Structure formats: structure tokens, C-alpha cells
Structure 1
Amino acid sequence: MAQVTVEIAGRSYPLSCRDGDEPHLESLAASLARKADGLLASLGPMSEARLMLMTALMVADELHDSRAGKAPPPLPADPAADARLAALTARIEALTARLERKSNAA
């Protein structure tokens, strides 16, 4: 049995899982942590129990919508991520153009 410690809203939770399931469990916990962080950012401090309940309700709502065939809500805008993506896209385009020039010259 493997051991994993995950962190949600600044608290660590030691968990057990099957050997090999550690990355999956860590990914699930990271998803919950993002939801919990979003709740704290929008609603402010709350008890651990209330935070976990509200996070669980958000996940249950998403599952319900998924089973009903509803599209997930759009991701919130992230200007910093958009800027990084634009810079990476420009870099890839520049490298592609450079490779094409070298290929045509050969």
C-alpha cells in the first residue's frame, strides 16, 4: 500500500492508495485544491468542514452536468497564461520559419 500526502487549502492530508495510483490521486487532489482555492478567493475564510462540503458540492454539480450532457463552464480568463501562450506561439512560428528557410536553402 502506497502513501501520498496531498495539500488542500494549506492543510496536509496523508492518504493511502494502491501502489501505482499515487499520480492519479495527486492529480485528483490538485483538482480539488484548485476548486477550494477558488472558493476561498471568492468567498473568503471558512471552516475546513464548510470548505470541503462546498468543494464536494462543486464536484457533484460538475458530475451531474456531465451525466446530463451539459457542457462544462468555460475556464476563467488567465491573462498571464494567455501571454505565455502567445509568446510560445510566436517562438514556435519563428523557429518554423527558420527551419523552412534552411530547408529551402538546401
Structure 2
Amino acid sequence: MGQVKVSINDRSYTIACGDGEEDHVRELAAYVSKHVTDLAEQVGQVGDARLLLMAGLMIADELSSAMQKTKMLEQELENLSSQRGSLMERTRDAENSLADVLDDASRRIEELARRIEAA
């Protein structure tokens, strides 16, 4: 099991993580730290717990928005897939109709050719 030292609001924390996850945990901590720093600049040093809570709520809000957008995009993708299936079916129907018309035209041309040869 790995361990990572991170710094948030000028305080160091040692975080346990899975082996190979150290860089990812550092990136996440840097993201949280940025939010805490921004908040501290806006509201002052109101205590680590409150700053971390506020940063956590801001990050949760970002996550909630991202999840809503993901849900909307998944629905849009499902709608587009459904439309694609419908359009492909219509294309197949049109191709079959065109093939029938061409077969009919070919038969009539052959019939005309036979009549001309017979005449």
C-alpha cells in the first residue's frame, strides 16, 4: 500500500492509497487545494474544517453538474442511436424498392429487345 504526502491550506497530510495511485492522489489533492485556496482568499481563514467542507461542497456541485450533463448526453446518444436504426431501415427499404424498379425495368428492356429482334 502506498502513501502520499499532500499539502492543503499549508497543512501536510499523509494519505494512504493503492500502489501506483500516488500520482492520481496528488492530482486530486492539488484540485482540492486549489478550491480551498480560492475559498480562503474569498472568505478568509475560517478554519480548516470549514474550508474543506466548503471546498467539498463546491466539488460535489461540480460533480453533480457533470453527472447531469452525462445523463443528458447518454439520453441524446440513445435517441441518436434509435434514429440511426430507423434511418438504416428506411435506407434498406429504399434500396429494396430501387432494386425492384431496376429489375422491372430490366425485364421490360429485355422484352423490348426480344420484340425488336423478332420484328
Q: TM-score range by the shorter chain?
A: 0.5 to 0.7
Are 1:9 and 2:13 an aligned pair?
Answer: no
In the alignment, residue 69 of structure 2 is paired with which amino acid? G
| Counterpart-to-counterpart distance in 2, 1:19 and 1:45 | 34
Off by >6 Å, runs of 4+ in structure 1: none
1:55 matched to 2:55: yes
From the two aligned structures, give the one with the greater helix fraction: 2
Query: Hey, what does 1:20 align to over in structure 2?
Result: 20
TM-score computed with the length of structure 1 as normaliser: 0.64
Q: How does 1:1-106 map to 2 (within 5 A)?
A: 1-69=1-69
Deviation at 1:51, TM superposition (A): 0.6
* Partners of 1:45 and 1:19 in 2: CA distance: 34
> What is the percent sequence identity of the aligned residues?
41
1:68 positional shift: 1.3
Tell me the secondary structure at the aligned position of residue 45 of structure 2.
coil
Distance across 1 between alignment mates of 2:60 and 2:47 = 20
Q: Paired residues, what number?
A: 70
Unaligned runs of 5+ in 1: 71-106
- List runs of 5+ in structure 2 lacking aligned partners: 71-119
| C-alpha RMSD of matched pairs (Å) | 1.2
The normalised TM-score by structure 2 is: 0.57
> Rg: which structure is higher?
2
